[in-house]
Structure 1
């Protein structure tokens, strides 16, 4: 059966919001989980090979941090541009193009060359990966109505964690036995295999269009004008929910960036763990984040099924995660033992990096379907500037403060997570702001009559 024909047929039927998603929805979701696994395996290579790359190229911590920051040079721009494009071009083809570009981007540094080649390949990879998360989420959520989106959104986000957890031991072995350039060949090959599978099995879902956004039985029906609302992007970006979600997600992504780039070195050089122990410990915060993601999805879904508004079910559940993370990070300096510091570090970063599903499902609820891709892409563009800033800042701290610089970085992260938690708690209310967007879009029509 032709996938595109199937999707066109489903669009024509405008599916019921109470109908359970079929097998095709979960097959596509599974492929998108694998997509995010490849995405973050790509990102994690340089962090896992930090000591080898610095030794091979004679880099200081600042230079290594700047090389990793280069990955995010075009990351945010591409996320915003492709996010808007995703409102016009089927996500299936955008995702396929991205996956192919990932594999191509790995090859220059894998073939050889110095720092300039490494930076150039990371800039290209960052441009190709920038839109990955918002477009993957948009593609997954297009198969589910609003009240069923928490689990698939969490699973796609979980791909981030699974990518690091599964890649860390395998890529570490490749790096130690065959060199860090061989690890680049491995992730390039895996990306190419995923692209082939997606070309055959990938498809866009029935809830991608306005007509398919049918309300649940018993919920307030949307008006025709509301269903077809096309508010300017600037109105979406000016809502308290978009601002609060983006602010909170920025602080969460700061933690993610540091886990990817500096956590292995922090465990080895800052806390004195052996290389083998660090290889195990580096996966722990990602595992904690995975449990937090699944727990958040379960709690949020349970609350929403019982009629609790998304202000609490999404915004404040997410805020609690960030506030707990901030507490763990900010108390690290109060303990002297390596064990206690390590436990607080992995708990703080694990919980701190688990806000992504809250962010995506919140903005997906806020923005009408015709503005969803742009709203998600712009959020991701703003948020991922944390990846541009954080590695370079921590590299400078390590060069100037030595091992103490790692602890300073944890305290700064804790302060940011505290600010993010407060923003999520006080600003996020997608149902309220979605109604305001619909009313603002209809206002000129009513005034003219």
Structure 2
């Protein structure tokens, strides 16, 4: 049942990611239909995240109370309602409202998934499990990009949005039928369970959130969301307007680079898992792997600004995404270890706050591109900014996350797991 649960969440992440990116695939026809500028399209991209953080925090806390199975079902059915509402969109304000509502519905997703998976898999397997489920996002890009772009070209963007609503409805029905809250026999804890852990107090939770480990896990995850939002909102526009690909060429390019980048995230996460098994140290495993990966991602994003051929641009984008977009897994694994009893809340707060990057990134990119006057030059500046964020946050993460950690000690109180 554990593997079936992972597969179902993998599929849900495919739908989740396609729901996010479908606006990007629809960007050119929507901008043409409503006469939107780059700044206005940046506003549309940003609106998805306006209440994403608040919904994520509240939803993650709610999932700890009502159960993760129910919370996942609620999210899936909410996506269905919003996406079918595409046929009611007739203006920019209504378009923004639709994206805001979808963002609210998707806000608690990753924290709820992490909390649910933790019930089914032991700690030493979670990095690979998280990255495998996360790979659903990349498969969603591979599977959905050509199909959705074809639907948009032939039937219009509203039909494609409603199609996504139908997929989340099907998933909801399957989940209600076969999904389980937790296994009959709990997975073995990494620490002895002979003494029940005390209930977490706010003073302990706040201590975790103010620790250097939590802060710098937040920063590299912030960097990843900055990049993934750029990819979801602006990469299709960049490939069509600056690189001059056709819509179908753009779709297959995103699909191909997404597949390779997704496989890279699984490989990178499995390296982190193997190092953790060897050293039993988060710093010698997930910190080093995550920090080096996002720095390499930044260097490849920067290389996009000086390579000339289309093939090299796509290769650089592919490697940049593969390295930079793998660090959310490392962040989630590390944060999950800080206070296991409140994993849902801690990961939920982090996953929600990092989406501030999702609010800022599309607006900043739109302003940069529009101010440049030339689309290609503007996107070059935006790529350089992405690279700078990845490299700086990666270096800080390497320097300060889990900096005082040696070998993992066996402890029982919750507060003893809080480390700088």
Using the size of structure 1 for normalisation, the TM-score is 0.86
Quick check: 1:368 aligned with 2:340?
yes
Quick check: 1:396 aligned with 2:367?
yes
**TM-superposed deviation, 1:437:** 10
Quick check: 1:33 aligned with 2:3?
no
Q: Report what 2:106 is aligned to.
A: 129
The Cα RMSD (Å) is 2.4
Distance in structure 2 (CA, Å) of the matches to 1:322 and 1:256: 12
Quick check: 1:420 aligned with 2:393?
yes
Please tell me whether the aligned partners of residues 365 and 431 of structure 1 are also in contact (alpha carbons under 8 angstroms). no
Q: Report what 2:146 is aligned to.
A: 169
Q: Report what 1:383 is aligned to.
A: 354
Please tell me whether the aligned partners of residues 244 and 424 of structure 1 are also in contact (alpha carbons under 8 angstroms). yes
Q: Structure 1 stretch 139-148 or stretch 332-341: which is displaced more? A: 332-341
Q: Report what 1:300 is aligned to.
A: 272
Q: Report what 2:296 is aligned to.
A: 324
* Total equivalences in the alignment: 412
Q: Structure 1 stretch 150-159 or stretch 304-313: which is displaced more? A: 304-313
Please tell me whether the aligned partners of residues 332 and 341 of structure 1 are also in contact (alpha carbons under 8 angstroms). yes
Distance in structure 2 (CA, Å) of the matches to 1:426 and 1:213: 33
Q: Report what 2:21 is aligned to.
A: 44
Correspondence list, 1:433-448, <5 A: 441=415
Give the one of 180, 185, 196 matched to 1:203: 180
Using the size of structure 2 for normalisation, the TM-score is 0.92
Distance in structure 1 (CA, Å) of the matches to 2:361 and 2:184: 36
**TM-superposed deviation, 1:231:** 4.4
Q: Which blocks of at least 5 consecutive residues in structure 1 are unaligned?
A: 1-23, 443-449
Q: Structure 1 stretch 245-254 or stretch 424-433: which is displaced more? A: 424-433
Please tell me whether the aligned partners of residues 174 and 180 of structure 1 are also in contact (alpha carbons under 8 angstroms). yes
Q: Which blocks of at least 5 consecutive residues in structure 2 are unaligned?
A: none
Distance in structure 1 (CA, Å) of the matches to 2:124 and 2:209: 23
Please tell me whether the aligned partners of residues 175 and 182 of structure 1 are also in contact (alpha carbons under 8 angstroms). yes
Q: Report what 1:279 is aligned to.
A: 251
Distance in structure 2 (CA, Å) of the matches to 1:288 and 1:135: 26
Distance in structure 1 (CA, Å) of the matches to 2:206 and 2:47: 29
Distance in structure 2 (CA, Å) of the matches to 1:437 and 1:326: 38
Q: Report what 1:445 is aligned to.
A: none
Distance in structure 1 (CA, Å) of the matches to 2:32 and 2:76: 30
Please tell me whether the aligned partners of residues 243 and 427 of structure 1 are also in contact (alpha carbons under 8 angstroms). no
Q: Deviations along 1:285-315, whole A, 9 cap, x unmatched?
A: 3223212221123212222232341212111
Q: Structure 1 stretch 86-95 or stretch 293-302: which is displaced more? A: 293-302
Q: Structure 1 stretch 286-295 or stretch 64-73: which is displaced more? A: 286-295
Quick check: 1:185 aligned with 2:155?
no
